[in-house]
């Protein structure tokens, strides 16, 4: 098992208002065009500061799995890089980018099931 693996949490939007949180290994690069194809969306762009505040009540750099507890974030779909499920513990910001909470990577789908957000596992 890997220790202290960096995770990226990227909030993306399309012109219809669809919002997607991508959770992936930090050393990977995200191809927005390919991601749009994977989630059957139009062009995806990074969410604005205003959108981060509206949905997650956080500043840029603090978006994470834990932001999905916010009432306005129930509409956010999650794309989870299936590779991270094979890792040991992974860290997420608890809505504050000065701290991290570590949890077993294999538990992320269980958390998403509990939160009720739509999600999918993909190979990034």
pLDDT of residue 2: 46
Q: Poorest-confidence range of 3-7, 13-17, 63-67, 98-102?
A: 3-7
Give Cα separations from 116 to 10, 33, 78, 97, 123 (angstroms).
Answer: 19, 27, 11, 24, 22
87-118 pLDDT per residue, tens:
888 888 888 888 888 889 999 999 999 999 99
Q: Which domains does the chain have, with CATH numbers?
A: 7-122 (3.90.960.10)
pLDDT of residue 4: 64
DSSP lists the bridge partners of residue 11 as: 21
pLDDT at 79 over 80: yes
What would the mean pLDDT of 5-21 be, rounded to a whole number?
91
pLDDT of residue 49: 94
Q: What is the residue-wise DSSP string for 1-29?
A: --SSB-EEEEEEE-TT--EEEEEEETTS-
Structure tokens that stand for 25 in this block = 């290994």
């Amino acid at each position: 098992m890997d220790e202290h693996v960096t995770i990226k949490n990227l909030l993306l939007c399309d012109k219809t208002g669809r919002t997607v949180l991508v959770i992936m290994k930090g050393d990977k690069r995200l191809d927005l065009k390919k991601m749009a194809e994977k989630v059957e969306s139009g062009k995806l762009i990074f969410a604005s500061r205003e959108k981060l505040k509206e949905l997650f009540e956080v500043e840029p750099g603090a978006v994470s799995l834990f932001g999905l507890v916010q009432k306005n974030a129930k509409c956010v779909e999650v794309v989870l890089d299936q590779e991270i499920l094979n890792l040991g513990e992974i860290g997420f910001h608890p809505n504050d980018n000065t701290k991290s909470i570590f949890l077993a990577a294999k538990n992320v789908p269980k958390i998403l099931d509990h939160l009720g957000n739509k999600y999918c596992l993909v190979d990034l």
